[in-house]
Amino acid sequence: MIVILKQNHNEEQLDSLRRWMKSMDIDIHTSQGMNQTVLGLIGDTSQVDADLIRALEIVEDVKRVQEPYKKANRKFHPDDTVVDVNGVKIGGGELQIIAGPCSVESRGQLCMIAESVKASGATLLRGGAFKPRTSPYAFQGMRADGIELLLEAKKLTGLPIVTEIMDLSQLELFADVDVIQVGARNMQNFELLRRLGQTDKPILLKRGLSSTLEELLMSAEYIMSGGNEKVILCERGIRTFETATRNTLDLSAIPLIKELSHLPIIVDPSHATGIARMVEPMALAAAAAGADGLIIEVHNDPPRALCDGVQSLTPAKFDALFKRVMAIAEVRKQIDQERTVST
């Protein structure tokens, strides 16, 4: 249930509403927007008489929220959430580009890629230290040593780092990591999500291989219900009957998520397509569709990459992609401004 307050409402009356809700074991999530204050009531609201609340002098309207996700719901928080990662703002109109190798392989490889993607304009560095691989015999990542190298690359370039956690036991190693990624395979690892909800780190939550958007939002809700509201969603392609590409990029997820939720959503065209030459067209399409960011795999020597070389761009290809994507982002910004003015 949400309660929309009148502008210039009386604070004493608001306190009394808070106390009343508390006496019924209902938590209140307050969203102070530009034009409106919205209270989200969390708990068993079936006992709450909406008409009684509506009758209060400070209340403009009361609505029941049918969706099972509350804190992630746009109705609870009408304005876009902007996640601030060391000054890099994800959400709210800018397009941020996260780039780097699928896996951290060596100091030389990571630092070289980090410097080149930074020179192109990327604002965050990605790199897997713990790798979820289909085969137990495939390269599993450099693990703790990989995190150390990411921290070195961060020092060298100043780029905040994004890397994947696979298990709760690894959390200590992530103390200086800027964004913790939860990969597609762990999207419904609820214990992991719950624990990450107790941290104050931004979480990049990737959509599961066969997950619906509602399931993705429910996973975000797990993190947010613990108190951590810094969640960035990621569309990275889903399983369909199509085998020509590694996955099928669901671009409609972007405008739909933006309707349903206030959380930022980024797109991973590398894992979505699995083919390096498909990455740019899908990155351009994602920027046009309104994505808040992109996460792109870049490798200095794709044929020799230890993981995902076929979908990795060379630094030169990434540089060209970056300029084209930014051109689309500019056009989109203009269109968004025109739309805001005309509505």
- Using CB under 6 A as the criterion, which residues of the chain lie in contact with ligand PEP when the complex forms? 102, 128, 132, 164, 183-185, 206, 236, 268, 271
Structure tokens at 191: 């214990």
How far is 332 from 328, CA to CA, in rounded Å? 6
Which residue is closest to Mn ion by CB? 102
The verdict on 308 binding Mn ion (CB under 5 A) reads yes
- The least CB distance from residue 183 to ligand PEP, in Å, is 3
Cα–Cα distance between 151 and 6 in angstroms, integer? 48
What is the closest distance, in whole angstroms, from the C-beta atom of residue 45 to ligand PEP in the complex? Answer: 35
In the complex with Mn ion, the residue whose CB is nearer, 13 or 170, is 170
Using DSSP's 3-state secondary structure scheme, residue 3 falls into strand
Q: Write out the DSSP string of 276-306.
A: HHHHHHHHHHHHHHT-SEEEEEB-SSGGG-S
Please, what is the minimum distance in Å from the beta carbon of residue 162 to ligand PEP? 9
Cβ proximity to ligand PEP: between 73 and 311 the closer is 311
Report the greatest alpha carbon distance in the chain.
68
Closest approach of Mn ion to the CB of residue 81, in Å: 26
Question: Between 50 and 171, whose beta carbon lies closer to ligand PEP?
Answer: 171
223 binds Mn ion (CB under 5 A): no
* Nearest partner of 280 among 333, 328, 334, judged by Cα: 328
What lies within 8 Å, CB to CB, of 278 at 6+ separation is: 245, 269
What's the min distance (Å) between Cβ of 332 and Mn ion?
27
- Of 290 and 302, the one with the shorter C-beta distance to Mn ion is 302
86 conformational bin, left if phi > 0, alpha if psi -120 to 50, beta if neither? left
Q: Which does 101 bind (CB under 5 to 8 A by kind): Mn ion, ligand PEP, none?
A: none
Element (H, E) at 163: strand 161-165
Stretch that binds Mn ion, among 16-24, 214-222, 235-243, 301-309 (CB under 5 A): 301-309
- Measured from each CB, the residue nearest to ligand PEP is 183
Q: What is the dihedral of CA 179, 185, 186, 190, to 10 degrees?
A: 150
Q: Is 268 in the site for Mn ion (CB under 5 A)?
A: no
Among Mn ion, ligand PEP, none, residue 100 binds (CB under 5-8 Å by kind): none
Does residue 102 touch Mn ion according to CB under 5 A?
A: yes
Nearest to 160 by CA among 149, 171, 173, 176: 176
Cα distance from N-terminal residue to C-terminal residue, the chain: 27
* Nearest distance from C-beta of residue 272 to ligand PEP, angstroms: 8
Region from 6-14, 250-258, 283-291, 303-311 binding Mn ion, contact rule CB under 5 A? 303-311
Residues that bind Mn ion (CB under 5 A): 102, 308
